[in-house]
Amino acid sequence: MIVPDEWLVERLAGSPDDQRVAFRFLDLIEQRGEVLIVRKASRFTTKLQAGLKKVPSGSKRLWMMLWDERKAMLVDDEEIVPLPAPLVAEVPGDDRYLAELMHTKPGAVLVTTDQNLIDILRRNGFEVQHLDEFLA
């Protein structure tokens, strides 16, 4: 179970090199038989919807994966387990939805480029990989 953050949408809409990285990530998800876990109402899905208008080809692949039950799990707000207060205080507000998703789906791995978030979540017992680690 893999939790992506906004870097994926940004790379899909980025330069050709950025798009290659995003497609490599999606290729590995499919090759490894992983499942993407995404919160339905989140910054990630908001950016993805906007990306569909700007870069339909790259974003469309991800959008289609999210609607395939074998490749993705979409989590509703009602399913979210609240974070403990100390973790709420430690995780930056923009990233809190990711921590909540990780807390709700034990065993999920967050793949991010945000080193500060990596440090915070690892310190609190979550499994997190930098994008470069995942792609290696």
Position 52 scores a pLDDT of 63
- d(Cα 75, Cα 71) in Å, to the nearest integer? 13
CA angle, 40 then 132 then 33, to 5° = 55
Question: pLDDT digit string (tens) for 91-116?
Answer: 999 999 999 999 999 999 999 999 99
Position 12 pLDDT exceeds 90? no
Percent of the chain whose pLDDT exceeds 90: 59
Question: pLDDT digit string (tens) for 45-58?
Answer: 777 777 666 655 66
User: What domains are there in the chain, each with its CATH number?
Assistant: 2-135 (3.40.50)
pTM for the model stands at: 0.86
